[in-house]
Amino acid sequence: MTRPHTRPAFAIALALAHGTALAQTAPTTDQADIGACAVIESDKDRLACYDTVAKRDTSTPAAADAAAALAKQQEAARTAERAASPRSDLYASEVESDEAIANAGKGSLLDSRWELAKGSKLGIWNFRAYKPVYLLPAFWTSRTNTLPRSPNPNNTVTTPQDLQNIEAKFQLSFKTKAIENLFGDNGDVWMGYTQSSRWQVYNSGNSRPFRETNYEPEVLLIFRTNYQIAGWKGRLAGIGINHQSNGRADPLSRSWNRVMLNVGFDRDNWSVMFRPWFRIAENRDNDNNPDILDYMGRGDMTVIHTVGRNEFSLMARHSLRGGDRSHGAMQFDWGFPITRQLRGHFQLFDGYGESMIDYNHRATYVGLGVSLLEWY
């Protein structure tokens, strides 16, 4: 949104509403409200503020869902009527019904991140948020992994590393849409990239090395869905190819490739994403981590809840096996406001696989820092 174009539009609307000239010597209450809107940090909240001041009737996710449900009922009624008394539909138009159904859930949490609704499409090759972006200057662990190991002897460290239990961590993540509406008015191809680094910045005796950096490029095909289960709206279904590695030489090299499914639900200020995955098999002699599925899991679930400017997320994953092969992890993140322009980020992780090098190493990690971008 470019402010020089929006201010005149609102000024004209306000002037017409009050029956006054555009040039005024004293600001009105509505104009003061517009000034307050201009300093709101969140694009979504700022737009909502402008719409409120302008008295613009904006559609909510619930209204979009209701319109889609009504369109489906009307279509079912027309289908039944045609079956009862066949006649020519040469000039019948389904455009309004189709558009209502295609915009179900417009403005919902998942729609705001994946441009699911027909009316939410913003074109291709635009950078978009993916996973949270943050810097944690303090990232503490209960148990350092000085001897990373693997069933492959070529990937087992025999000389202990000099590591401190407090370091820094940061994450960068973005995505861009490469193809829009691959199948009619649905099916978008996204390319995503996430990078997270653990930096032994306080370890001056060991030249402050980067202990571990994980690289995660992926390609996803995302479809809009529209169904309901126990009050949750099924918004998204997708499939993708995911590569994750740490880009290091043996014996510290770790990597795997996965085919991942994505199923997303939301309601009000909640969203849930399920991601089961299947590992693409590698030659066992060259496999850096042949038992990684029993530690990093065979799927995860992420629940996100927004309360004002606070955003909470909880990720859980598990190996989906019993006995000695039963392993998993949980991660809690909290993005919170510090000032109008600055946000904080708290992270708590417990279990296996906080990073690729630690895929079969269990520990607790606590981090605190600042956030540039959260989920929504």
Helix spans in the chain (H):
3-18, 29-38, 43-53, 61-84, 95-102, 109-114, 293-296
The reply to whether 88 belongs to the active site is no
Q: Catalytic: which of 243, 255, 319, 326?
A: 243
Given a contact cutoff of 8 angstroms between Cβ atoms, the answer to whether 81 and 201 are in contact is no
Which residue is it, tokens 């590569």? Answer: 243
Q: Report the candidate in 231, 312, 220, 241 with the shortest Cα–Cα distance to residue 265.
A: 231
264-267 contacts: CB < 8 A, separation 24 or more?
264/110, 264/114, 264/234, 264/235, 264/236, 264/237, 265/110, 265/229, 265/232, 265/233, 265/234, 265/235, 266/105, 266/108, 266/109, 266/110, 266/232, 266/233, 266/235, 267/231, 267/232, 267/233
Cα(139)–Cα(332) distance, integer angstroms: 14
C-alpha dihedral (360, 366, 369, 374), degrees to nearest 10:
60
Q: Locate 19 and state its tokens.
A: 């029956």
Q: Buried b / exposed e across 305-325, counting CB within 10 Å, b at 16+?
A: bbeeeebbbbbbbbbeeeeee
Q: Catalytic: which of 59, 173, 245, 305?
A: 245
- Helix (H/G/I), strand (E/B), else coil: 114: helix
What does the DSSP 8-state code read for residue 363? Answer: E
The reply to whether 361 belongs to the active site is no
Given a contact cutoff of 8 angstroms between Cβ atoms, the answer to whether 169 and 199 are in contact is yes
Question: What are phi and psi for residue 109, nearest 5 degrees?
Answer: -60, -50
Question: What are phi and psi for residue 33, nearest 5 degrees?
Answer: -65, -40
Given a contact cutoff of 8 angstroms between Cβ atoms, the answer to whether 187 and 221 are in contact is yes
Q: Report the candidate in 207, 133, 140 with the shortest Cα–Cα distance to residue 170.
A: 133
Q: Report the candidate in 293, 310, 299 with the shortest Cα–Cα distance to residue 262.
A: 299
Q: Which residues are catalytic?
A: 243, 245
